[in-house]
Amino acid sequence: MTTPDIRKDSGPGNSRFTLGNFYSDEPRRMKVVVIGTGFCGITAGIRFLQKIPNLELVIYEANAGVGGVWFANRYPGVACDVAAHCYQLSYEHNPNWSSFYSPGSEIRDYLQGVAEKYKLLQYIKFQHKLLHAEYHEESGKWHLKIQKQSSNSGVAPTPQRDEVSPCEEFVDTADVLFTGIGLLNRWDWPEIDGLDNFQGKVVHSAQWETGEGDLSPTAKWEDTIGSWKNKKIGVIGIGSSAIQIVTALQPKVAHLTNFVRSKTWISATLAQECLNELSKDETASNYKYTDEDKKKFQDPVYYNQYRRHLERDAHAAYAVTLIDSPIVEQAQEAFKKDMIKRLAKKPWIVDHIVPDFAISCKRLTPGPGYLEALCEDNVDFVPDIIKRVTPKGIETVDGKHRELDVIICATGRDLSFKLPFPVIGRNGVTLNEKFDLCPRTYLAMTVDGFPNWFIGGGPNSGLGHGSIIYTMERQVEYAIQATLKMQRERLKSMEVKKEATVYGQKCRSWYKMGKEEGRVVGLWPGSSLLVVHALSHPRWEDYNYEPLDANVKNRFYWLGDGSTMADNLPELDSSWYLDPKVVDVPPGNCLLISC
């Protein structure tokens, strides 16, 4: 007896009750485009390939290599202020970190190794810059204008400096767009009168090009300052980049002046207790792992215990971010005493650098060696506001003029969350218009009016404590679950409902787009574990959906012809549910979920 093929008997023409002309578990073809190859983009590429069947994947990267901000940032002393064993992917362990806090070049190499291990490079198109993204409502696809670049420096162009010769522009499309470009790769020149007239060298920390040394990814920053031994250097800023630059350059230049307009907490090193145990030194600011340490890390059990110890320390720091927490006052007093102690050689600096605001108002910066560098004889700390830049140096509002050979602008980033290219959603509304007053997202990942777009490292995804890497992994998983839903249920679009898109002391912080007051947009409003929990349990009812075929009225259309692939394809095992890898075996006789 032959079973009739109802896949052929039913179709869009039957408006009363249309069956899907496909098996219920037959995945439709999905095109996903990922932008960026930092931690977020690399993880997205790996996980989409792993979990989405019948997938076409393309990853566009503006730079000449993987790493995102860690590829682009090559300034002196560039490093991560999160413990190296926390600043890595949960599924890809590195037992060979050179130090407790790893230099930027090692993080870049780590990401390169991850991309190679998971054979991701074949999907990445380097030196391909996204110029324009627009959602087409009729097709439910994103149309992306891409520029294929040719660059000698291997670094993406910027609004301030564009020496890239465009080779080609083309349009690509995507059912799902995932952007993992983050916040810290867009930067600003400071608005200082006369900066363009300076006759010496002007360099920005985010685009480190001095005209010296090799600009390749493997080059050392020391080679870029070969002629600076007898020069006077000015560093503008007191953010993480400025702090690292001052510390690194102080012993290598004739004189250094740090121009600072605001105060900041230079905290004890994060995970200080663990660092003290390793170094046997309570004043240690970093620690070089020995061969014996690395040998221990080869043991998976020991490695896991060590890493989890660091992670627990990071989570414990959440209490310090709560204004009403009793531990805040204790920590603040301890930080203040430590800063005063480290500035003993120049105690007058204390009044100009130790803040009045709570330690949770800005992200804590360990700044190993920074305060000690300020106390050296060849360093001046200038808290006065800059009036103008002259051809020979910098003049402050008190009338003093300081001659300089080099000015380094470590003035932070473009903190508006407005992207450097147009993103156009429904009804022609641009993202920059949407974010004009303040960025508003749903769970830091989606925006109403912009269907099928998922953001990694966007507004409110930052953490006031610990490492953001696992948060990025959960953001990727959330986007994957949404993509699977679209694929499984034959949806043209999913868009967060507008009604679902919905720290308070005065201090200038990137949490508040660089402003002293206003809504916090850089920080997740809770603990790092809360964001993991929130993204692990999606509320799909907070979204609106459109079917692929608007004429189909059958809500069960996604069930297809009523059969599965295993029912029809002899090469598939119809008893797959008994595969030991699939069977979910309960843990003994325990009936409680907490067991």
Buried b (16+ CB within 10 A) or exposed e, 146-167: bbebebeebbbbbeeeeebeee
**Interval 243-255: pLDDT, tens:** 999 999 999 999 9
pLDDT < 50 positions in the chain: 1-15, 153-164, 503-524, 595
Instruction: Please give the CATH number for the structural domain made up of 30-186+417-546.
Output: 3.50.50.60
One of 1.10.10.10, 3.30.590.10, 3.90.78.10, 3.50.50.60 is the CATH number of 195-267+324-357+359-409, namely 3.50.50.60
Quote the pLDDT of residue 12. 47
**Interval 264-280: pLDDT, tens:** 988 766 677 788 888 88
Please report, as a single letter, which amino acid is at residue 167. C
Dihedral sign (CA 283, 289, 291, 296): positive
Q: Are 155 and 177 in contact (CB under 8 A)?
A: no
From residue 377, give the alpha-carbon distance in Å to each of 76, 255, 340, 380: 20, 9, 18, 8
- Check residue 20 and report its DSSP letter: P
DSSP assignment string, 325-393: -HHHHHHHHHHHHHHHHHTTTSGGGHHHHS-SS-TTSS--B--TTHHHHHTSTTEEEE-SPEEEE-SSE
Cα angle 237, 238, 239; round to 5: 105
Q: Are 164 and 157 in contact (CB under 8 A)?
A: yes
Strand-strand pairing, 128-136 and 141-148: antiparallel
Quote the pLDDT of residue 324. 65
- Check residue 583 and report its DSSP letter: -
- CATH 3.50.50.60 in the chain is located at 30-186+417-546, 195-267+324-357+359-409
From residue 345, give the alpha-carbon distance in Å to each of 340, 341, 342, 348, 415: 10, 9, 8, 9, 35
